[in-house]
Structure formats: C-alpha cells, structure tokens
Structure 1
Amino acid sequence: MTARPSPATSVARSSQPGHRLPPAAAGGPFPTVDVHAHLLIPEVEALLAGLPGLAEARDLEARRNGPAALAVNGPMVRERIPKMTDVTVRLAAMDTQGVDVQLISPSPSHYHYWADEETAEKLCRLATEATAAHCAQAPDRLRGLGLVPLQHPERTVRALDHALEQGLLGVEIAGHAPGRELSDPAYEPFWSRAEQTGAILFLHPFGCTLDDRLDRWYLSNTVGQPTENAVALSHLIFSGALDRHPELKLIAAHGGGYLPTHIGRADHAWRARPDAGAGCAHLPSSYLTRLYFDSLVHDPHVLRALIGAAGADRILLGSDFPFDMGTENPVGALRAAHLPDHDFHAVRGGNATTLLRLT
C-alpha cells in the first residue's frame, strides 16, 4: 500500500471529497504526515457510565483544571466532535491543512486508568477496534494506534497484540499510571513486545500530578503537559529502559515537553552525582537521538532547539488535531522555523514515511 498516489492517480481522484492531493505534497518526494491527531469514541464513555470510580476520576480532573478551564473545554470539544468522529469531515480538514496522512490515536480522555482489569480490557479492545474501523474508511489517508491498560501491566502485551492484529501500528500511552511510573519493572514485558514487533508507542500525557497548583489560567495544560512528558521520558532514560530496549519506536508528543531543551541539567547530574548516573549507561542527552518527537512546540526557536538536541531525523510533524491547543496549520508552523530544505521535508513527512512504513 502506498500512502501517496502517483501523479496520474492524483489527477483522477482530485475531484473526490477527501482525496484531493494537498498542495504541500508537491513540495517533496514524501507525503505530508501528521502523527498527532485524535479520535473521539463515545462508546468508550458509554461503557463506563455509572461505574464506581468514574465520578472520582472526573472530580480529580475538575480539580486539576479548575472551573474556568472546564467552562472553555466543554464547548471547545463539542464544536470539534465532527472532526473527531466523521471521516468525511476529517479528510476535508486534512485537505485544507495540506496533510496527506494522519496517524490517529484515541483522545487521551479515554485512558481511564482507574478502571479495574476486566473493564480496562473491554475499554481498550473497544477503543482499538473503533480506531481501526475509523481508519479503514480511508486506508490510504489514515493510520491508527490503539490503547493498552497501563494500570494493569500484566495485560498490556495482550492489548498491544490485539492492536497489531487489528491492523494498527501500535498504541498510545500516558506518562504514568496511578502508582506506577514508566520505569516500573512490571512494564519490561511490554517494552520487549513492542520492540520485538516494531510497534509504535505514542507517549501522550493526560493530566498533571501537580494537581490544583495548576488549576488557573489553563496551567494544567500549558505547564502540566510538558512537565509530564519530561518526567516520563526521564524515567525511561535514567532507569536504563532505553538501554535494555534500544529499538523501541517511541514518539513523544508536544516535542517531549521540557526535557529536550533542558537536557543539559540532566547531563550535569549524570556526571556529577552517582545516584543520578546509576541507572543508565550513557549521557541522558544521547538517548534523545533514539526517540522521536512531534513538532508541536508552538515556537520556531524551540523547534530549532529540539532539532539541535535530537536531530532532524527524529522529528515528526504534529498538530494535535483538532484541539485548540494544537495548530490548524502544521506545515505553516514548520515553515516558520526556516529549516534547511532537507530538514523541512524530513520533518514534514520523510521521517514518518519511513517510521510508519507508508511505502
């Protein structure tokens, strides 16, 4: 299967809704690929309705965000539901953005890591199968990721296998589960299976454990999300998980948060303190070139710094489609960084074409 049609096919399909060749695709030999796009699955929330633990989880989310943010979040999400549920609407939006292919993951609001084992397994199967069905409606434009019950490590391998059996490329995970960091040894079988199968892992936080310290001015997202990314990646690096699993294909959302552009402090600690350097074999900064990061950092200076830290070959276009904390013009945001042509096209789609095996 080829992600980008031949010129002749492009002309033939140009009049069909959702199949117009976006202008950005003419800028290089690769399709334009957005690796950070979401799907809303109402059936997941219906599955959990009335279950013990749901009200408590929602209360925690409300406390973390604060009333002002919640008053904005509700209308914002409702306005965007068609883009997250209707394939025709999604494809039209992609055409407007100049995006050829999206890698779709369930909305992180569907994690529900409070759920018991049986419920969590049902939830992940439902989310995974719904994502596969959504992508199957436009298989040349859409790829997908499933979910795993991160709060139940013993069930993660089975859930990952199910996602791959459904034709998805891997799974989306948060930066931690209640009482467990990603450095927890209980996840070793999961990392091993992901490495063995070549599955893609998309690290996307949801909620920050700084809780109500961030309950104003949407700090829960603007500070909380990059903090959670930095903590999660630090656990993977300093624990030696990336030494034990060097072939993991892990994409960190939001440019990896604060870690890539502040990695010098981690390097200093690794050199200066035996407790900091005990778990990983190499300088923390060296692991950035083993990871992938999306380009969604909202600042061309930060994007260039991210490329300087990880390499242009490890950065992938990301928009956080269709949420308001994303960008409606991911290619334009990339152009604003004024990268060399080779780096621009690598980030625009060349790197993702290889990683997602689009050709």
Structure 2
Amino acid sequence: MTIVDVHTHMLSEAFLDALAAGSGGKYRVGRVPAGDRAIFTRDTAFVTLTQGMFDYELRVAAMDSAGVDMAIVSLTCPNVFWGDVAASTAAAELINDDMAAAQTAYPDRIRFLATIPWQYPDRAVQELERACARGAVGVMVLANIDGVSLTDPRFAPVWDEIDRRGLPVLVHPTSPIGEYQLDISRYHLVWSVGFTFDTTLALSRMIMDGFFDRYRNLKIIGGHAGGYLPFVISRLDAGFRSFESCRAAIDRLPSTYLEQIYVDSIVYSPEALAMTLEVMGPENVLYGSDYPHKNGKMEEIIEIVGAAPGFAHSGIMSGNAEKIFRL
C-alpha cells in the first residue's frame, strides 16, 4: 500500500544560524539536560533537534525502512515568525530553496509545504508565489503567528491568495499564548498539552469566526489529529445552541464545518485514532508521523492506523493526501 506522510519536518543549520542572528534573542539554540540540542524560547526547550532534521539521505533511508513512499516536508516551529521583514523573508527563502532542491533530488519521494513570512502579508504573498513556482504543494502555518490569531484581519491578503490557489494548509502548533502563565515548561508539558491546546484553539476560532464561510477553497489540515478538536466539537455545538455570542459569526452548528477540515493521524493509541475517525470521517484523516522529532516514529503510526477499520486504510495512508495535494 502506498503511504504519503503529510506531517514531517526538515531544517537546516543555515536556518538555525538565521534564527539565532535574527530573532533578537527571543529564540536560541542550546542543550537540554540529556545533552540534545534544542531550540529554546527563554528557558523553555520546545523543539529538540535530531540528526534526521538535517539529512535528506538519512530521511529517505528511514522512509524506506518504514515503508513510506512520499514525504511532504515542512518547517517546524518557530517557523520564520520572529524577525524583521528582511530576516524573516530571507529565512523563508532559504528553507523553500532547500526543500525545492530536495524535491528535485528525490522527485518520487519528496514534496514540500511553503514557508512564508505571514507577519508581513505583502512579502508573504510574494514568497508564496515564488515557492509555488519552485514546486510547493501547500503551505505551513503555526497555530498562532507570534501571538496573533490566524483569523486576524491583517492576514486576509495571505488567506485570499491561498484560497484563490486552493492550497492545503497544515496548521501546526507552537508554544501557546501565555505559556509562562500556564507553567508548561516543566515536564515538557509544552509538547504534550501546550501544542495540542494551541491547535485546538486555532481551529475552533476558525470555525466560530466564520472562516470557512469566507474561504470556500481552503483545505485546512490540523496537526496531531487537530489537537482536542474531535473531543471538543460537541461542546462547541452545545455552546452554539446555548449562547447568543457563539452565533455571532456563524449560523449553523460548528460540527457542520468539519467537512472542510482535515487532520493527521498523529495520535498514540488505536482508541484515539478510532475516535478521530468517528468524528472527522475516514475521508478527512491523513497519515502523518512527525518524523524526525524524537516522538516521530513512522512505524508506530503505521501500526496504529493498521488497527483501524480496513475500509479506512487506503484513504488514510495515501488516497486522501493524493486527492487534496493533487499528487
């Protein structure tokens, strides 16, 4: 069976250099107590770096071992949402060019999602056009853009262009707003709880804000099974029925918008995937691994998907991705 991995990451040492030089001290590369390098924001290590993030040859070998046919790679957090217009744009260009070169080197194995400087909408649209010309098959965005919600009006020109092109967008978490007040730096709760909360809030806000009524061509992919969205969607429906403020921007139940939202399969138990499939529908779930993060084990997710009902396998593994990414 063909397998397409829609949630998988790559970096470069040049990007880390640009991040350290251009983020004004907000981000740094250091080491966690176990000795691994990591990207820190203040004292919080929220991206642990691994060798596989920098080596496409190693990546393809790992794909071969796991039986994954194609990887749609993207940059991870903090993306390029940290510098002035020149630094952020240059970092986006660097990553897009690096991924485009990998796609050329491995035309049957690699595709990529565009990295764009969302906080500078005019430049973001320009870089999106350039990245698509170089072969990008979609766009990656974090669940908040340096603390600003994705539905903020300032990003409308970017969403307009993405919608016009009908591009899939991976909504990937980062450290949520208020991380220090939430006290999630200990026990790596920023990863287990903070990231999934960040995605849940972003997708819920999109629904409640009428985002999917305005952008009919969008194909949003919520990372890590959409966070808690499959669990909380019934509560959003209950709020819609109960509170006038929940009906301020939409006139139908929040759950009716799920047909416009895709999620990946990055859960860690068959039970969690079963609920995701039941709520989202098997046609809206895509295989993703989070490789090469330390938690990103391609074989583990393949095994979990293998425990799902047989009729869903081909769609999750590749069919749904082939459709929305036009592979």
Asked if TM exceeds 0.5, the reply is yes
Change (3 A) 1:352 1:50: closer
Letter in 2 for 1:328: M
Letter in 2 for 1:169: V
Match of 1:116 in 2: 84
Name whichever of 165-174 and 185-194 sits farther off.
Answer: 185-194
Alignment of 1:291-310 (within 5 A): 291-310=261-280
Q: Is contact 2:7-2:288 (8 Å) kept?
A: yes
Letter in 1 for 2:83: A
Q: Is contact 2:4-2:69 (8 Å) kept?
A: yes
Which of residues 165, 169, 172 in structure 2 aligns to 1:201? 169
Secondary structure of the residue aligned to 1:50 is helix
Letter in 1 for 2:61: A
CA–CA distance in structure 1, aligned partners of residues 269 and 19 of structure 2:
38
Match of 2:107 in 1: 139
Match of 1:152 in 2: 120
Change (3 A) 1:115 1:217: same
Aligned length: 315
How far off is 1:307 after superposition? 1.1
How far off is 1:303 after superposition? 1.0
Larger of the two Rg values belongs to structure: 1
Match of 2:321 in 1: 352
Q: Does 1:169 align with 2:140?
A: no
Q: Is contact 1:87-1:137 (8 Å) kept?
A: no
How far off is 1:145 after superposition? 0.9
CA–CA distance in structure 2, aligned partners of residues 86 and 222 of structure 1:
26
How far off is 1:198 after superposition? 1.9
Match of 1:106 in 2: 75
Which of residues 249, 254, 266 in structure 2 aligns to 1:279? 249
Match of 1:10 in 2: none
Match of 1:219 in 2: 189
Q: Does 1:328 align with 2:303?
A: no
Which of residues 36, 39, 60 in structure 1 aligns to 2:7? 36
Change (3 A) 1:47 1:266: same
Change (3 A) 1:154 1:271: farther
**Residues 217-243 of structure 1: CA deviation (Å, up to 9, x unaligned):** 110100001100011111211111111
Letter in 1 for 2:214: R
CA–CA distance in structure 2, aligned partners of residues 113 and 339 of structure 1:
37
CA–CA distance in structure 1, aligned partners of residues 146 and 62 of structure 2:
36
CA–CA distance in structure 1, aligned partners of residues 63 and 19 of structure 2:
31
CA–CA distance in structure 2, aligned partners of residues 289 and 279 of structure 1:
18
CA–CA distance in structure 2, aligned partners of residues 64 and 150 of structure 1:
26
Match of 2:281 in 1: 311
Secondary structure of the residue aligned to 2:103 is helix
Secondary structure of the residue aligned to 2:62 is helix
Secondary structure of the residue aligned to 1:114 is coil
**Residues 82-112 of structure 1: CA deviation (Å, up to 9, x unaligned):** x223222111100111101111102324x14
CA–CA distance in structure 1, aligned partners of residues 291 and 264 of structure 2:
13
Structure with the bigger percentage of strand: 2
Secondary structure of the residue aligned to 1:108 is coil
Percent identity of paired positions between Structure 1 and Structure 2: 32
Change (3 A) 1:124 1:259: same
Alignment of 1:80-99 (within 5 A): 80-81=50-51, 83-99=52-68
Return 5+ residue gaps in structure 1 as ranges. Answer: 1-24, 26-30
Change (3 A) 1:49 1:339: closer
- Please, what is the CA RMSD of the aligned residues? 1.9
Q: Does 1:230 align with 2:204?
A: no
Secondary structure of the residue aligned to 1:214 is coil
Alignment of 1:229-268 (within 5 A): 229-268=199-238
How far off is 1:278 after superposition? 0.8
Match of 2:34 in 1: none
How far off is 1:347 after superposition? 0.5
Q: Is contact 1:253-1:296 (8 Å) kept?
A: yes
CA–CA distance in structure 2, aligned partners of residues 271 and 159 of structure 1:
42
CA–CA distance in structure 2, aligned partners of residues 262 and 48 of structure 1:
35
Secondary structure of the residue aligned to 1:203 is strand
**Residues 237-261 of structure 1: CA deviation (Å, up to 9, x unaligned):** 1111111112201211100001222
CA–CA distance in structure 2, aligned partners of residues 163 and 146 of structure 1:
6
CA–CA distance in structure 1, aligned partners of residues 297 and 290 of structure 2:
7
Q: Is contact 2:236-2:254 (8 Å) kept?
A: yes
Q: Is contact 2:139-2:170 (8 Å) kept?
A: yes
Letter in 1 for 2:231: T
